[in-house]
Amino acid sequence: VQLLGGSLETVFSLPGAGDLYVTTQGGRNSRMGRLLGMGKPYSDAVEEMPDETVEGVDCVLAVMPAIEHMIAQGKIEADALPLLRELYRILTRNVAVAFDFESFFSKLPFAPPLRQRAQGA
């Protein structure tokens, strides 16, 4: 956000938190994410949501070229933003999810609640 001239306050205040809340509670972005997470290619997922605008898709398609440019300039590490890069790959190549979530979560400085529950059960 900051590299693109935005303020972190936007992310952590009502606009960012509100959008995250709506998305996780079943908005269009959430529905698209569930369809893609079930292994559907983007073209099939879009067919299940006719006449609906999924802002997250438009955002990924708009932001990723700028991210790639910043990587080329050395402003961002090449392996940064793995989830965003995977989403871009899914959307532009019309392929199913092929992301190593276990590896991704194992690198976080904390264990996600879902993972803690599964290990403790």
Average pLDDT per consecutive 10 residues, the chain (121 residues; last block may be shorter) = 81 79 81 91 95 92 93 90 91 89 76 51 45
What is the reported pLDDT for 111?
Answer: 61
DSSP state of 93: H
pLDDT at 113 (0 to 100): 60
pTM of the predicted protein model: 0.72
97 contacts 39 by C-beta, under 8 angstroms: yes
pLDDT of residue 112: 59
Query: For residues 34 and 114, what is the distance between their CA atoms, to the nearest angstrom?
Result: 17
| pLDDT value of residue 101 | 80
